[in-house]
Amino acid sequence: MNFKFVHVADLHLDSPFVGLRSAPDPVTRALEGASFAAYDRVIATALERQVDFVLIAGDVYDSEDRSLRAQLRFRDGLGRLAQAGIESFVVYGNHDPLDGWSARIEWPQLAHRFGADAVEAVPICRDGLPIAAVYGMSHRHRELRSNLARRFRATGDDAFAIGLLHANVEGIGGHENYAPCCLADLETAGMDYWALGHVHRPTVLRSETPVIVYPGSTQARTRAEQGERCCYVVSIKGGVASLEPVAVDAVRWHSVDIPITGLDSDQALLDRLDDALRELRDDVGDRPAVCSITLSGSGILYHVLSKPRYLEDLLDHLQTDQSGDPFVWVDRVELAATPELDRDERKQAHDFAAELLGIVDEIRASPQRLAELRDELAPLLEQLEKIPRRVAVPFPTDEEQLTDWLERAEAVCLNLLEGGRS
């Protein structure tokens, strides 16, 4: 039998947006309501597509101490589904485990919320005939390190078996390793489709039975979460799943790279920035955007950009004009550019600047020296992370980023040694 469902995860309702300082009221309001607006779009998608049911794979809320507002908005959305005869199935994850606070409110009859004691199987019927079964289990505690996937086993009698779980498969980076499991655990459980949550980037781990999918978060919460955020509309025909991502995010994060190469004046830089933001406004359509700008490349403007307060003043200028609707809010400017310099030629000068270049090359070529540098920087970085900043400081988290940081430090030192003429 053919049917359709929506697979969604990581709603993080009422999630705060951290780090956007001095934003005007329209921007602040849009960001504060973004998680709810994205959820409303999920519900609207399910109603418009007339799906048979909706799967929600954990982290409905942003914290264990979930707000009453978030719980009521979530309940009301499931209520709209129920009024249309659409069932919903919910598991909870590490951000909203079952031992967190829950308001005592009534839930729609067609909304099924899975417990944490054991894997439960719930059949789904249409016109009195079974079309699928959903197997689900929630997190009881936030710090859940046991493998829940190994507890899932389909009976073999289901028309179509679905596993609903919040977990980290194969230790995917950038996310805590809660409810860890491996692909083999999922592949041998007898499911036809795994509806997963926890990883915020849309990711299809397997496109054939068993299909294994992370739909990603519905709304980006930080500048690290770039690009479209969606839910999946999944159509089952003859037991085969086809996936359609549907964008539901209310505010989208972008990064814009502006090379300073060839720019010979402050006005030339301002003109290029204006052109880039105008293009972004044309691209975003009716969706507001938050934008981070990186000044890259090399050129004669570097010594100007590195002056005290220059980047802050530039950011103030870019944030002044917010007349566009929808808005494009520039939240930070990062300097990743370098001076215009022939390094090989400069190293032949046999002065202190040439010695500096040689030291940087030695460190960059030695994994051991890089590791020592990281250890030396650790206490400083720990203190810097506590300081609110409007201008970006890209902290190194791996060897590639540490090398990039080293090159930027070289640029700053050379600029000082050359008296701002590099």
Dump pLDDT digits (tens) for 289-346. Answer: 999 999 999 898 998 998 889 999 999 999 886 656 788 999 899 998 888 776 777 7
Closest CA to 2 of 239, 194, 210, 211: 239
Domain boundaries, the chain: 3-247, 252-340, 342-422
Q: Which CATH number fits domain 3-247: 3.60.21.10, 3.40.190.10, 3.50.50.60, 3.40.50.460?
A: 3.60.21.10
What are the beta bridge partners of residue 212?
A: 194, 206
Task: Give the SS3 label for residue 311.
Answer: helix
Residues in contact with 89: Cβ distance below 8 Å, sequence separation at least 6, in sequence order = 53, 54, 55, 56, 112, 114, 122, 134, 136, 164
Residues in contact with 220: Cβ distance below 8 Å, sequence separation at least 6, in sequence order = 200, 226, 227, 229, 249, 251, 252, 253
Tell the burial category of 217 from Cβ atoms under 10 Å away from its Cβ (0-12, 13-18, 19+): buried
Residues in contact with 344: Cβ distance below 8 Å, sequence separation at least 6, in sequence order = none
Closest CA to 228 of 238, 236, 218: 218
The pLDDT score that the predictor gives to residue 176 is: 85
Both structure tokens of 416: 């000082």
Mean pLDDT of 104-121: 96
Confidence of residue 202 (pLDDT cuts 50, 70, 90): very high
Phi, psi (deg, nearest 5) at residue 121: -110, 130
The pLDDT score that the predictor gives to residue 422 is: 39
What are the beta bridge partners of residue 257?
A: 294
CA 360 from centroid of its chain's CA atoms = 34
Confidence of residue 206 (pLDDT cuts 50, 70, 90): very high
**Contact by Cβ (8 Å): 187, 205:** no
The pLDDT score that the predictor gives to residue 323 is: 55
Confidence of residue 191 (pLDDT cuts 50, 70, 90): very high
Q: Spell out the SS3 assignment of 120-148.
A: EEEEEEECCEEEEEEEECCCCCCCCCCCC
Select the more confidently predicted residue: 87 or 419: 87
Q: Give the Cα separation of 23 and 191 in Å (integer).
A: 47
Q: Give the Cα separation of 352 and 347 in Å (integer).
A: 10
Tell the burial category of 21 from Cβ atoms under 10 Å away from its Cβ (0-12, 13-18, 19+): exposed
The pLDDT score that the predictor gives to residue 185 is: 97
Convert the pLDDT of each residue in 211-270 to its tens digit.
Answer: 999 999 999 988 888 889 999 999 999 999 999 999 999 999 999 999 999 999 999 999
Name residue 400's amino acid.
Answer: E
Confidence of residue 400 (pLDDT cuts 50, 70, 90): confident
Answer positive or negative: Cα dihedral of 278, 327, 329, 38: negative
Mean pLDDT estimate for the chain: 88
Confidence of residue 62 (pLDDT cuts 50, 70, 90): confident
Q: Give the Cα separation of 304 and 269 in Å (integer).
A: 11
Residues in contact with 400: Cβ distance below 8 Å, sequence separation at least 6, in sequence order = none
Mean pLDDT of 409-420: 70
Q: Give the Cα separation of 284 and 282 in Å (integer).
A: 6
**How far from 96 is each of 43, 135, 287, CA to CA, in Å?**
20, 19, 28
Own/partner contacts of 123-127, CB < 8 Å, gap of 24 or more, are 123/158, 124/52, 124/53, 124/87, 126/1, 126/3, 126/52
Within 10 Å of residue 15's Cβ, how many Cβ atoms?
Answer: 24
Closest CA to 203 of 214, 219, 194: 214
Triad 420, 421, 422: Cα angle to 5°: 100
Phi, psi (deg, nearest 5) at residue 143: -90, 60
The pLDDT score that the predictor gives to residue 294 is: 95
In this structure, of 9-23, 91-105, 183-197, the range with the lowest mean pLDDT score is 9-23
Q: Give the Cα separation of 279 and 290 in Å (integer).
A: 14
Answer yes or no: pTM beyond 0.95. Answer: no
The pLDDT score that the predictor gives to residue 324 is: 67
